């Protein structure tokens, strides 16, 4: 129903210029052709619109759809038997995970996101394999799944051309492995030997294809994986392409202390400073993580108009660090929120991530600046939309924007009682769980009703996933798992030799050689 009226006792539009939440009470939202045409008193909205379908009621709160600005794939490592470890010892173990196919995997995480109020996602494919035909098949399957379930998606694929297995050349690492393991891993690293120019040609083709297929629902971005994984030549080609076509870039950076230390030892400056020297910083760039950024880094990011995507759960679960978000906000850096692989509950519930972000950045002073509820909501909506490529289209509720709306059951939110003096945005931040989400709309279409997605058979998807994950392992899977088990002692030994973990800093708020940002 792309033409309808949505009624709510309160409509949270977003964060205003005064820093406060903008709220309309006893309001109606007129949706016309998937766009918000008007928000105002219900009696006025109803005039000459009695024929339209009606949703909501006075017992509802309407808010913008949430945005997960940093997401990779559906079946989590924990579900696949991969134990938590620091990032550098965690990622190699993914090579032994069972694959269930990009469509089914995407639907799984999309169900979790949509049913917990996330209407837009930036899907960062962890890495393309095979050739261009296989790249296209995977991309189409992922974006097709988001389209089928009713979500809006930014899409990018991570690119690496060096140092994939550690902080040194892959050829040297491979040379130290026994022959069977070396041969297996050499084939696993085939993607790193793909010329960046080939990836740019593929990106352009997919950008054209999906701008034709889903102009309002898909945005194509670029994702150089990280500074130690990409040569300067590759980075300059990627950033040059982005400038030429006007696309966003999302780049993991300064996620772990080892990454920060590597940049200083290899480039003689921080990762952010090196990107600045290459001319890569700008408003088109979102830094993913940024846990170990320094005060100078943040000044550079602010001065160049960059964004940061804060992945709080990821930093805590992997022991990567805590981003200095208060310092970022103080400098005017727009901060989006991402769940990364999965959040603290091993799912994709942004309502949980928002609470964690608020609590994590309280700090300990009496009078220090802290994130308030309106700022956290803005990070999870408006700033996320900007990072995901939909800035000025979604992320707020106001006339002219797409009608991506979440309706909350106020009775469930406030039971048994919340004092009227409590700001409604505070109540939403601190008490909202997915059980209070009554309905979700994308472009004015009802895509979640009564807590369940409407456009696909969620039970059939879950049953198919269970059956595939529980099936006996194949011969190929057995080989991969055995090779990963053999590989890990070599990974660990290489990391010890690198000495990048020496004298690591216990963190409250992470910094690199600076006390705090």
Per-residue model confidence as pLDDT tens digits over 246-270: 999 999 999 999 999 999 999 999 9
Residue 499 has a pLDDT of 86
Do 212 and 92 lie in one domain? The reply is: yes
Mean pLDDT of 17-43: 96
Residue 48 has a pLDDT of 78
pLDDT of 511 > 50? The answer is yes
Domain housing 435: 4-64+402-453
- What is the C-alpha separation between 179 and 218, in angstroms, rounded? 44
Q: Which range is least confidently modeled, 153-162, 168-177, 184-193, 494-503?
A: 494-503
406: which strand partners? 63, 440
Please give the helix or strand (H or E) that residue 439 lies within, else none.
strand 437-442
Do 370 and 417 lie in one domain? The reply is: no
pLDDT of 507 > 90? The answer is no
Do 13 and 146 lie in one domain? The reply is: no
Query: Which CATH number is 199's domain given?
Result: 3.20.20.140
Mean pLDDT of 109-120: 98
> 7 falls in which pLDDT band (50, 70, 90)?
very high
- What is the C-alpha separation between 180 and 190, in angstroms, rounded? 16
Residue 504 has a pLDDT of 72
SS3 289: strand
pLDDT of 68 > 70? The answer is yes
**Are residues 384 and 68 in contact, defined by beta-carbon separation less than 8 angstroms?**
yes
Do 107 and 174 lie in one domain? The reply is: yes
pLDDT of 85 > 70? The answer is yes
| CB proximity list for 482: less than 8 A, separation 6 or greater | none
- What is the C-alpha separation between 225 and 335, in angstroms, rounded? 19
Residue 363 has a pLDDT of 87
Dihedral, CA of residue 57, residue 61, residue 63 and residue 68, to nearest 10: -110
Query: Considering all CA atoms of the chain, what is the largest pairwise distance in Å, rounded to the nearest integer?
Result: 77
Mean pLDDT of 179-207: 96
Q: Is residue 364 part of a domain?
A: yes
Q: Is residue 492 part of a domain?
A: no
Residue 49 has a pLDDT of 82
Q: Is residue 489 part of a domain?
A: no
Q: Is residue 477 part of a domain?
A: no
Q: Is residue 380 part of a domain?
A: yes
Do 93 and 38 lie in one domain? The reply is: no
Do 87 and 185 lie in one domain? The reply is: yes
Residue 47 has a pLDDT of 87
Residue 359 has a pLDDT of 97
pLDDT of 433 > 70? The answer is yes
pLDDT of 332 > 70? The answer is yes
Query: pLDDT tens across 265-280, in order?
Result: 999 999 999 999 999 9
- Count of Cβ atoms closer than 10 Å to residue 362 Cβ: 11
Q: Are strands 152-159 and 223-224 parallel, antiparallel or unpaired?
A: parallel
Query: pLDDT tens across 448-469, in order?
Result: 999 999 999 999 999 999 999 9
For the chain, the domain total comes to: 2
> 297 falls in which pLDDT band (50, 70, 90)?
very high
Do 89 and 106 lie in one domain? The reply is: yes
Query: pLDDT tens across 475-500, in order?
Result: 999 999 999 999 999 999 999 999 88
**Are residues 438 and 408 in contact, defined by beta-carbon separation less than 8 angstroms?**
yes
């Amino acid at each position: 129903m792309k033409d309808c009226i949505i009624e709510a006792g309160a409509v949270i539009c977003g964060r205003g210029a005064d820093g406060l939440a903008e709220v309309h009470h006893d309001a109606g939202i007129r949706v016309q052709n998937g766009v918000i045409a008007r928000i105002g008193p219900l009696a006025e909205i109803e005039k000459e619109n009695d024929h339209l379908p009606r949703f909501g009621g006075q017992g509802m709160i309407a808010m913008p759809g949430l945005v997960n600005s940093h997401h990779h794939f559906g079946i989590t490592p924990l579900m696949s038997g991969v134990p938590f470890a620091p990032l550098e010892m965690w990622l190699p173990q993914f090579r032994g995970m069972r694959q269930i196919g990009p469509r089914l995997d995407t639907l799984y995480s999309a169900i979790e996101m949509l049913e917990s109020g996330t209407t837009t996602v930036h899907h960062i494919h962890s890495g393309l394999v095979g050739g261009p035909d296989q790249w296209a098949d995977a991309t189409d399957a992922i974006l097709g799944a988001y389209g089928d379930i009713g979500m809006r998606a930014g899409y990018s694929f991570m690119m690496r051309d060096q140092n994939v297995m550690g902080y040194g050349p892959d050829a040297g690492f491979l040379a130290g492995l026994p022959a069977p393991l070396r041969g297996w891993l050499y084939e696993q690293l085939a993607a790193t030997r793909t010329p960046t120019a080939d990836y740019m040609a593929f990106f352009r083709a997919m950008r054209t294809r999906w701008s034709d297929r889903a102009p309002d629902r898909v945005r194509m971005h670029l994702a150089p994986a990280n500074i130690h994984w990409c040569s300067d030549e590759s980075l300059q080609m990627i950033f040059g392409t982005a400038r030429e076509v006007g696309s966003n870039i999302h780049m993991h950076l300064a996620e772990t202390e080892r990454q920060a230390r590597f940049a200083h030892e290899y480039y003689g400056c921080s990762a952010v400073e090196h990107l600045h020297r290459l001319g890569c910083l700008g408003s088109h760039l979102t830094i993913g993580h940024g846990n170990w950024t320094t005060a100078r880094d943040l000044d550079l990011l602010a001065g160049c108009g960059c964004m940061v995507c804060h992945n709080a759960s990821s930093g805590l679960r992997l022991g990567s660090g805590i981003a200095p978000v208060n310092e970022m906000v103080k400098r005017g850096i727009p901060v989006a929120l991402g769940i990364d692989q999965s959040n603290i509950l091993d799912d994709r519930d942004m309502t949980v991530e928002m609470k964690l972000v608020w609590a994590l950045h309280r700090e300990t002073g009496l009078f220090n600046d802290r994130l308030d509820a309106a700022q956290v909501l803005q990070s999870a909506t408006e700033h996320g939309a900007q990072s995901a490529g939909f800035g000025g289209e979604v992320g707020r509720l106001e006339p002219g924007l797409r009608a991506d709306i979440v309706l909350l059951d106020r009775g469930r939110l406030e039971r048994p009682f919340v004092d009227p003096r409590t700001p409604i945005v505070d109540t939403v931040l601190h008490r909202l769980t997915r059980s209070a989400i009554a309905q979700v709309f994308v472009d004015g279409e009802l895509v979640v009703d009564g807590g369940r997605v409407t456009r696909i058979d969620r039970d059939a998807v879950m049953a198919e996933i269970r059956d595939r994950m529980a099936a006996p392992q194949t011969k190929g899977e057995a080989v991969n798992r055995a090779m990963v088990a053999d590989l890990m002692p070599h990974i660990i030994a290489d990391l010890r030799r690198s000495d990048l973990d020496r004298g690591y800093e216990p963190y409250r708020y992470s910094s690199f050689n600076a006390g705090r940002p």
